[in-house]
């Protein structure tokens, strides 16, 4: 028998994959709940902790939940069953389940979500939309990504097909004409309308993002920037599935899986 694997060890490994220093200032990342000395054998990843996910974590005897979106996210002065967040936290604590969230550090990491999206679109010359620093050690790290279509210009409708295939989705929203020729694409997972101006500065003609508001869509159209809106869930959920796989590869003695019960609260119907 080797040394028992401690929560602390897994946190260190996650930290080296998605350094918490990459997280945005407003974010709340890292180990959010738990005892670093706890032994860990079962880890579940998910996009967001909801009451259903707490049920699943307890039922499947997870000892650690790695959730993309933090819980708690905002500062809390009371932890009681009178709020949904309070009740979830109490149930997790009572069940001895720790919580770690990489969130925006995972978005921006060298092999993080936005890099994975850019590679999924088969872009070339991929670089961050906002480079973290000019130091050579940090080249390739930063917020969002952009790159060029490897095969050369492509109609927006064909780019959409690549996106659907990569994310395994049937529906999404677009802004712009399906025949529009796309050369350079920016990607930013989640709610990411704030990246529109940077995408334009970088000469992109298309921005793929999870979601944004109506007025940003109008502004994009006025600026001749195509948008591909995959839905927040689809733009990030695939990455927590890959994260579970990555964790399994790191630790043969640990059972890791992505939540099987999680689903998009936004339902796409036609």
Residue 154 or 208 having the CB closest to Zn ion = 208
Sign of CA pseudo-dihedral 254, 114, 57, 38:
positive
Residue nearest Zn ion by beta-carbon distance = 190
Closest approach of Zn ion to the CB of residue 107, in Å: 8
Residue 176 or 193 having the CB closest to Zn ion = 193
Q: Angle at which helices 7-17 and 232-250 pack, to 10 degrees?
A: 120
Closest approach of Zn ion to the CB of residue 236, in Å: 5
Judged by DSSP in three states, 204 sits in coil
Q: Nearest 10 degrees: CA dihedral of 30, 33, 35, 38?
A: -90
Which residue reads 């708690």 in tokens?
Answer: 72
Distance CA 57, CA 53 (A): 6
Residues that bind Zn ion (CB under 5 A): 190, 236
Question: Which one, of 179, 60, 200, 190, lies nearest residue 129 by Cα?
Answer: 200
Residue 147 or 190 having the CB closest to Zn ion = 190
Closest approach of Zn ion to the CB of residue 139, in Å: 25
Closest approach of Zn ion to the CB of residue 210, in Å: 7
Closest approach of Zn ion to the CB of residue 264, in Å: 12
Sign of CA pseudo-dihedral 209, 214, 219, 223:
positive
Residue 63 or 230 having the CB closest to Zn ion = 230
Alpha helices in 83-227 (DSSP H): 84-94, 103-108, 113-120, 156-167, 196-201, 214-222
Residue 205 or 236 having the CB closest to Zn ion = 236
């Amino acid at each position: 028998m080797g040394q028992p694997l401690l929560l602390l060890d897994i946190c260190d490994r996650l930290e080296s994959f998605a350094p918490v220093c990459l997280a945005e200032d407003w974010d709340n990342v890292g180990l959010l709940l738990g005892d670093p000395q706890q032994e860990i054998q079962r880890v579940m990843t998910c996009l967001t902790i909801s009451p259903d996910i707490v049920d699943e974590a307890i039922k499947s005897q997870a000892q650690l939940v790695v959730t993309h979106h933090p819980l708690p996210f905002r500062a809390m002065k009371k932890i009681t069953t009178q709020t949904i967040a309070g009740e979830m936290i109490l149930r997790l604590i009572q069940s001895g389940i720790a919580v770690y969230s990489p969130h925006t550090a995972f978005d921006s990491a060298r092999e993080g979500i936005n890099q994975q999206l850019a590679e999924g679109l088969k872009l070339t010359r991929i670089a961050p939309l906002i480079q973290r620093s000019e130091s050579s050690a940090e080249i390739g790290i930063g917020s969002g990504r952009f790159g060029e279509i490897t095969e050369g210009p492509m109609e927006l409708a064909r780019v959409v097909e690549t996106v659907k295939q990569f994310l395994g989705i049937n529906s999404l929203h677009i802004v712009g004409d399906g025949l529009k020729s796309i050369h350079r694409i920016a990607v930013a997972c989640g709610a990411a309308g704030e990246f529109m101006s940077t995408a334009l500065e970088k000469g992109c003609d298309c921005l793929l993002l999870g979601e944004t508001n109506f007025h940003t869509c109008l502004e994009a159209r006025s600026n001749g920037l195509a948008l591909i809106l995959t839905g927040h869930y689809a733009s990030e959920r695939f990455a927590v599935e890959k994260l579970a796989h990555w964790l399994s590869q790191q630790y043969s003695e640990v059972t890791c899986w992505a939540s099987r019960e999680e689903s998009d609260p936004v339902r796409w119907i036609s």
